[in-house]
Structure 1
């Protein structure tokens, strides 16, 4: 191909159509469909749509791909919140998507000129493309307002053969690998001078090499027996219930367990709709459960220690009350608090005013010591936050309790998307993850990603299981965010070189 920008390029209208279809195909790789093999195909089609594109047309193609993916992927927002928040969040994420793919178009256009040898093009261009994708995911996961760490390509692979790689490279590393394989396939198609058999051998060899990496062995350091209770409580944002009803639902679902020998009981986020630290009646209920089960109780509730509300998880012991508290560190913007309320309110005053109570940002650590068992605590979207997961493992967590309230999202894909994140976190950290919801999807995931137990959605019940504990530190947790920085840095450095090549070409 030499100095040619591309051996293949679609007309702009065709690129836009391919990008729109590619976004839908990428979404189909995620739960609920969970056709994981479609995720890298969707990425590859997006890259095909970018071939021969300039920055401007690449931005357009990327924006179309982003809108197609995001508006399908988070359609669950519309169930209670309507179209405006759906378009707002989907539009913001699509802007990130568009910018990332627009810059990727420059790499696909000028990279082959910068690295003119066949193996330079095949070896380096896919790495730069994958690095840019990783950088875009990394930025949108933390910015603005703490970011939205949803929809990363890696999250489509919770049930795939590639899923075990997260123990080695983390979520960002897995996204990099999947996009690299997609970009490699596209780049090989652009190399007509290579024999068909050689191109196929390189593509198949790359996939085989990745899949040959063995799962990281997780050695148990002990066991604990727990009861995780799903109360099937109507705990949605706009649900109508009498005070104490959600607490009663979880109490009723726990009473049949009396007589079971467990080390602790865990309830979901918001399982006590009355703050037991301020209500003697609610405290008596928790004392009763803890006494009858002869075990501590971990429950979610809304606390107000002074003038600030917190979405909290309590470690409750009969007669002692809340012996430890975790306040959610990453409350969800535009849902649990309204950032820059005065600025945003004129755009949609009725929607903004729905968020009448702003939750504070917690400052406590996210690990409970439950009679010697160190449990990492994640409240709802906390499980998607890389830094919070890193902190609980650094603090010695031997298992993870992921408490959530999915009642707002009904039978949509949101709860299974969140469960997929929990499954990947189990593999990544080498820890049992107990994903317990008010309504589902609730499951206990072992460190190798298997489902030990689960509950039907919108059904009251409990999971009582003896689960492994672990002190194993996986390579992903040793490296932490350094993997993300390294891979993103490769992409950005390659982009800078391509921008330099573009300027020289224009001159």
Structure 2
């Protein structure tokens, strides 16, 4: 290929725009509820093809179109109760950030072939650079603004694919990187016009071998834990009509089939108690009676107040002094309002609905359950790597996730979150008990397979022997390092490329 061919667009702008839109829709189909995981590669490929050869303006346009087609469909469940404003605000913000950060991808496609026009540069350096920049974009979306929103990570689309086990080595971030590198290598190999040549296909084949042939990292069996978990299906949505104590009553009623069973712990979901047991004597007495009746401790969740602060709190009750874990990442505009005076000026009615201001937790996502380590994640905390890794590092042998999906009944949110829980089991090599107020609830094996489940919109209980595991996966040990290397390394490499291009232009 000539240098001109290496840097010119594959498609005219109008065709690239259509390709980007199709790519965004296709990427969404790789996530639940459709969940056709191979389409993640197709969606990424369409995005890359639309960006190749584009200048800044064209890259911004096709980047925005791809991002909008993905985000406005992927999280349309945010409009379930509050209407289009929150949906447009969140999807629009993610679209703008993702669209702007498509520009470095397009520039990499222009710069690398000019500076490194040989096969090594085109077929190895370029795909790696594209994979690094795409991954960096995911890291930015997942951490900024405020606590970010890492809901659309490509690696998370692979919970039911044969590639998910790679996350046990590299974390979800590393899986995203490898998937994009593979896709970029295939795109470049086809673009070279000689796909049958070994040198052209070799980079993609190497990455494919890593994705398919490296086994999951083995953790060690450490016995089992008998867990009762209860989905009360109570009126736990933000706008559900209910009387005081109705959610607690629903949980108690759904727990009745387990009262005469032997278990090591009884798990209730997020928001399973609608009063603070740390300050409400009647609620505390009810929990004491239940714990004594089943002769086992409880893991419950409630809004708790300590001083002037309010927390979303998981509580280990009935095993001595209550152990507490407060949600690490309260949801912006859901559980608290950052910069409230500013946003009240923009949407006073919507902001006024958010009365509580939850404080971020400062205690570890971990309970010591009679010598067994239990890792925790409250609802959307399942999407934040630091919460999961900290639990494992504290000594978790099993995870228990508590969530309340009532505000998103009959949407994809529930199944998307459940897929993320499945990826966390695979990533950490630990079983997960994912219990929701309204479903779908599931017990997930360390390899991601389902052990037990309850359907959505149904009150019910599970009694499950859940396997325990010890030993830390590489993802837990080096996951933050993988993110730092891929993120900051890609930024540094892109900066060096830009400087190199600038120096060459000034010399000419």
Q: Determine if the TM-score, normalized by the shorter chain, exceeds 0.5.
A: yes
Q: Residue 190 of structure 2 corresponds to which residue in structure 1? A: 189
1:202 CA drift (Å): 5.3
Do the aligned residues in 1 keep the contact of 2:234 with 2:250 (CA within 8 Å)? yes
Q: Residue 110 of structure 1 corresponds to which residue in structure 2? A: 111
Do the aligned residues in 1 keep the contact of 2:112 with 2:121 (CA within 8 Å)? no
Q: Residue 390 of structure 1 corresponds to which residue in structure 2? A: 389
CA distance in 2: counterparts of 1:46 and 1:367, whole angstroms: 40
1:472-506 CA-to-partner distances (Å, cap 9, x unmatched) read 11111111200011122332233223323443464
1:285-335 CA-to-partner distances (Å, cap 9, x unmatched) read 2112111111000101111122221111111118x5x61111111100000
Do the aligned residues in 2 keep the contact of 1:435 with 1:443 (CA within 8 Å)? yes
Mapping of residues 277-288 of structure 1, within 5 Å: 277-288=278-289
**Are 1:3 and 2:9 an aligned pair?**
no
**Are 1:160 and 2:161 an aligned pair?**
yes
Do the aligned residues in 2 keep the contact of 1:8 with 1:190 (CA within 8 Å)? no
Q: Residue 212 of structure 1 corresponds to which residue in structure 2? A: 213
Q: Residue 378 of structure 2 corresponds to which residue in structure 1? A: 379
If the length of structure 1 is used for normalisation, what is the TM-score?
0.96
Mapping of residues 467-478 of structure 1, within 5 Å: 467-478=466-477
Q: CA distance change for structure 1 residues 487 and 2 in 2, over 3 Å: closer, same or farther?
A: farther
Do the aligned residues in 2 keep the contact of 1:43 with 1:182 (CA within 8 Å)? yes
CA distance in 2: counterparts of 1:200 and 1:349, whole angstroms: 56
1:2 CA drift (Å): 4.1
CA distance in 2: counterparts of 1:209 and 1:244, whole angstroms: 53
CA distance in 1: counterparts of 2:309 and 2:202, whole angstroms: 60
If the length of structure 2 is used for normalisation, what is the TM-score?
0.96
Q: Residue 328 of structure 2 corresponds to which residue in structure 1? A: 329
1:194 CA drift (Å): 5.9
SS of 1:480's equivalent? helix
Q: Residue 54 of structure 1 corresponds to which residue in structure 2? A: 55
CA distance in 2: counterparts of 1:146 and 1:7, whole angstroms: 38
Do the aligned residues in 2 keep the contact of 1:128 with 1:492 (CA within 8 Å)? no
Do the aligned residues in 2 keep the contact of 1:244 with 1:273 (CA within 8 Å)? yes
Q: Residue 41 of structure 2 corresponds to which residue in structure 1? A: 40
Deviates more, 1:50-59 or 1:492-501: 492-501
Q: Residue 454 of structure 1 corresponds to which residue in structure 2? A: 453
Do the aligned residues in 2 keep the contact of 1:6 with 1:190 (CA within 8 Å)? no
Do the aligned residues in 1 keep the contact of 2:194 with 2:200 (CA within 8 Å)? no
1:470 CA drift (Å): 1.3
Do the aligned residues in 2 keep the contact of 1:2 with 1:113 (CA within 8 Å)? no
Q: CA distance change for structure 1 residues 489 and 360 in 2, over 3 Å: closer, same or farther?
A: closer
CA distance in 2: counterparts of 1:166 and 1:110, whole angstroms: 31
1:251 CA drift (Å): 0.4
Q: Residue 72 of structure 2 corresponds to which residue in structure 1? A: 71
Q: CA distance change for structure 1 residues 208 and 81 in 2, over 3 Å: closer, same or farther?
A: same
Do the aligned residues in 1 keep the contact of 2:316 with 2:324 (CA within 8 Å)? yes
Mapping of residues 322-361 of structure 1, within 5 Å: 323-361=322-360
**Are 1:399 and 2:398 an aligned pair?**
yes
Q: Residue 272 of structure 1 corresponds to which residue in structure 2? A: 273
CA distance in 1: counterparts of 2:195 and 2:281, whole angstroms: 76
1:154 CA drift (Å): 0.5
CA distance in 1: counterparts of 2:476 and 2:202, whole angstroms: 33
1:99 CA drift (Å): 2.0
CA distance in 2: counterparts of 1:194 and 1:26, whole angstroms: 25
Deviates more, 1:464-473 or 1:487-496: 487-496
CA distance in 1: counterparts of 2:14 and 2:201, whole angstroms: 30
SS of 2:483's equivalent? helix
1:7 CA drift (Å): 5.7
1:56 CA drift (Å): 2.0
1:17-50 CA-to-partner distances (Å, cap 9, x unmatched) read 1111100000000011000000111001000000
Q: Residue 366 of structure 1 corresponds to which residue in structure 2? A: 365
1:196 CA drift (Å): 5.9
CA distance in 2: counterparts of 1:110 and 1:202, whole angstroms: 20
SS of 1:190's equivalent? helix
SS of 2:66's equivalent? helix
**Are 1:20 and 2:21 an aligned pair?**
yes
Do the aligned residues in 2 keep the contact of 1:127 with 1:490 (CA within 8 Å)? no
1:161-205 CA-to-partner distances (Å, cap 9, x unmatched) read 110100010010001011111111111122135646764565445
CA distance in 1: counterparts of 2:288 and 2:204, whole angstroms: 60
Do the aligned residues in 2 keep the contact of 1:110 with 1:498 (CA within 8 Å)? yes
CA distance in 2: counterparts of 1:497 and 1:15, whole angstroms: 28
CA distance in 1: counterparts of 2:196 and 2:488, whole angstroms: 33
